Amino acid sequence: MPSRATLLDERAIARALTRMASEIVERCHGTADLLLVGIQRRGVELAQRLARLIEGLDGSPVPCGKLDITLYRDDLQAIGPRPVIGETDLPPDLDGRTVVIVDDVLYTGRTIRAALDELADFGRPRRILLCVLVDRGGRELPIQPDIVGLKKPVAQDERVDVLVKELDGRDAVELARTA
Amino acid sequence: MGAAALGKDLIGLETLSPQQLRLILDTAERFKEVSERPIKKVPALRGKTIVNLFFEASTRTRISFEFAEKRLSADTVNVASSGSSVSKGETLVDTARNLEAMRIDMVVIRHQASGSAEFLGRRIRSNVVNAGDGKHEHPTQGLLDLLTLRDRFGKIEGLKVAICGDVLHSRVARSNIWGLKKLGAEVAVCGPASLLPRDIAALGVEVIPRIDEAIRWADALNVLRLQLERMTGGFIPSLREYNRVFGVTRERLDRAGKDIVIMHPGPMNRGVEIDSDVADGPHSVILPQVTNGVAVRMAVLYLLAGGNPDWQQHGGGE
């Protein structure tokens, strides 16, 4: 039976997202040409929440896209049965936009590498930033986040689970020991 | 998803479970969007080599497979029976084994003999996709028909689908019947008795003798092509007679006065089994079928590529 510890509860997540929303506005000098792109699955929910928070701060609605990186994974040939593919939904023109990639947990960096490759096939954003709720360390590629909710180095045999109300019924970030 | 994975080959819809069918359709749903991207390509099958081995004439299916393969970044080679060593009398297995010796990963095969795809699948290590084997099955056509119906109606369960015309010679009919029944549709066939298989009722399919009755009953018609090239004569009196009795015409649809979806696997004999103003009219989903064909084939190739990695010779399949 793996043990679990709470890293962020519902209120801590709400505070982190509020801070991240204002950091996005600050780093992007407003919301003009801003596009939030959530990585399937939980990045999508987080991006939508950030968009609402930014709209509350800045007054103007922020468009939100979805990106599934399955078909761009670098280990697709090595793994067995194919993973189920999620929806990708991006506006037709990325050229000149400021894209903020939103994901729940940043670990090896391989998901973000795939996301960058996939975005490049959709167009040429002016700038791409990376925003993650939890940076757990353990990078295998030279990729770093621009905006972070919680920075917490986590051992290899531990797993960070981000739970969101929309999919999991509650908001929490938990540390699970798998060993 | 282990339980729903597809195994090594796709031979027919007869051997797939409803879960496997839904997995393919749901995956195809995602692949539709890839064909709408500015760069219509994803790297999922990069490094895979696929041979399209076509022993029978085909335009739509072959091109559709080729698009699907290219949009997944696979490398493709087309082999047609004319102009290859097949025309020198080489056997199917020898051809395929020689191709395998060049390190290929998948074979898409169309062949005039029923059972040829399964036969090949048992003898080579590569994944085999049946692109039509004789009168047996044409599973990717069946799947694209299912996807098109699901697009139109939201679900397959409870739908009434009438398959009309030359059921006897039709692998499309057989794949449709298996797929539709497994997903809970009601299926009927309608056509001249000479073009219906004698054992059709054994498949759990109703026979509706008159086309007007089939139109009244059905939510969707799948109008089959009269396969003139497979007929050695004596099946129907004349094409004009066939059109008069079994042709799907504007008049007949107007008389039924209802919403109905018209499908056709192509190529059409306009003015024989289907009239032009039906084929090009508001009820027709014939071109969406073609669009869906690419997505379904991408889904099948993608899912098979992750099939059982430790499959051994003679052990594979579902």
- Residue spans of the domains in chain A: they are 11-74+84-155
Which pLDDT band holds residue B227 (cuts at 50, 70, 90)? confident
**Same domain, yes or no, for B112 and B7?**
yes
> Tokens for B49?
């080599």
The chain B residue lying nearest A80, using CA atoms, is: B306
- What average pLDDT does chain A have? 95
Pairing of strands A172-177, A158-163: antiparallel
User: Do B178 and B86 share a structural domain?
Assistant: no
Interface-testing mutation among B37, B73, B105, B303, with chain A (most A C-beta atoms within 10 A):
B37
Same domain, B151 and B87: no
Give the chain A residue nearest B47 (alpha carbons): A77
User: Six-digit token pair at A76?
Assistant: 């697709």
Among A82, A84, A122, the residue with its CB nearest the CB of B37 is: A122
Which residues on A lie below 8 Å from B1 (Cβ)? 81-84
The pLDDT assigned to B317 comes to 37
pLDDT in tens, A21-59: 999 999 999 999 999 999 999 999 999 999 999 999 989
| Predicted local distance difference test score (pLDDT) of residue A179 | 65
| Side-chain-facing half-sphere of A61: CA atoms under 13 Å | 3
> Residue for token digits 């003139």?
B228
Chain A residue numbers touching B42 (CB-CB < 8 A): 71-72, 118, 121
CATH label, A11-74+84-155, candidates 3.30.365.10, 3.10.20.30, 3.40.50.2020, 2.10.10.90: 3.40.50.2020
Tell me the chain A residues in contact with residue B23 when contact means C-beta distances shorter than 8 Å: 84
Residue B309's pLDDT band, with cuts at 50, 70 and 90, is: very low
- Mean pLDDT on B205-218: 96
Q: Is B231 on the interface with A (CB under 8 A)?
A: no
Please answer yes or no on whether B30 and A87 come within 8 Å at the CB atom.
yes
User: Are A77 and B47 within 8 A, CB to CB?
Assistant: yes
Give the mean model confidence (pLDDT) for residues A91-103: 95
Closest in B37, B72, B302 to A121, CB measured: B37
**Residue B94 shares a structural domain with residue B152:** no
What is the total count of domains within chain B? 2
Q: Do A81 and B30 touch (CB under 8 A)?
A: no
Compute the nearest-CA separation of B134 from chain A (Å).
30
ipTM for the predicted complex comes to 0.89
Question: Chain B residues with CB inside 8 Å of A72's CB?
Answer: 42-44
Cα B79 to Cα A34, B54, B76, B209, distances in angstroms: 49, 6, 10, 41
Confidence check: pLDDT of B316 > 70: no
Q: State yes or no: pLDDT of B4 exceeds 80.
A: no
Q: How far apart are CA B281 and CA B254, in angstroms?
A: 12
Within 8 A of A117 by CB-CB distance, chain B residues are 43
Mean pLDDT confidence for B10-32: 96
Residue-wise pLDDT tens digits, B138-149: 999 999 999 999
In a domain, B218, yes or no: yes
- A72 pLDDT more than 50: yes
- CB within 8 Å: B30 and A86: yes
Kindly report the number of other CB atoms within 10 A of residue B77's CB atom: 13
The band of A105, judged by pLDDT with boundaries at 50, 70 and 90, is: very high
Is residue B316 in some structural domain?
no
**Average pLDDT for chain B:** 91
C-alpha span between B121 and B100 (Å, rounded): 12
Residue A10 Cα to chain centre, angstroms: 18
Residues 6 or more apart from B219 whose CB is under 8 A from it? Answer: B153, B159, B160, B161, B260, B261
CB contacts under 8 A, B 289-318 vs A, are 302-303, 305-309
> B58 and B132: one domain?
yes
Kindly state whether residue B245 falls inside one of the protein's structural domains. Answer: yes
* B5, B39, B44 ranked by CB distance to A76: nearest: B44
Interface test with B, best of A67, A118, A121, A124 (most B CBs within 10 A): A121
Q: Same domain for B109 and B210?
A: no
Residue B317 lies in a domain: no
Query: What number is the average pLDDT over the span B202-231?
Result: 92
Kindly report, residue by residue over B232-272, the tens digit of the pLDDT: 667 888 899 999 999 999 999 999 999 999 999 999 999 99
Mean pLDDT of B188-198: 94
> Is the domain of B100 the same as that of B221?
no
Q: Which of B33, B39, B303 sits opposite A88 (nearest CB)?
A: B33
Cβ neighbors of A156 (< 8 A, separation 6 or more) are: A138
Residue of B308 and B171 predicted with greater confidence? B171
pLDDT in tens, B279-302: 999 999 999 999 999 999 999 999
**Which chain A residues contact residue B44 at CB under 8 A?**
70-72, 76
Same domain, B6 and B79: yes
Residue B214 lies in a domain: yes
In a domain, B311, yes or no: no
Nearest Cβ partner for A121 among B39, B303, B305 = B39
Q: Which of residues 26-55 of B touch A (CB under 8 A)?
A: 26-27, 30-31, 33-34, 37-39, 41-44, 46-47
Q: What pLDDT does A46 receive?
A: 98
Instruction: List CB contacts (< 8 A) between B39 and chain A.
Output: 121-122
CATH number reported for the structural domain that contains residue B202 in this entry: 3.40.50.1370
Predicted TM-score of the model (pTM): 0.92
Shared domain for B127 and B244, answered yes or no, is no
Q: Tell me the chain A residues in contact with residue B309 when contact means C-beta distances shorter than 8 Å.
A: 80
Question: What local confidence, expressed as pLDDT, does residue A76 receive?
Answer: 86
User: Which residue range forms the structural domain that includes residue B271?
Assistant: 139-287
- Check pLDDT > 70 for residue A144: yes
pLDDT band at B83 (very low <50, low <70, confident <90, very high): low
Side-chain-facing half-sphere of B139: CA atoms under 13 Å: 25
* Tokens read off for B177: 């019947």
Compute the Cα dihedral for A88, A79, B53, B118 and give only its sign: negative
pLDDT at residue B165 above 80?
yes
Which residues of B are less than 8 Å from A91 in CB distance? none
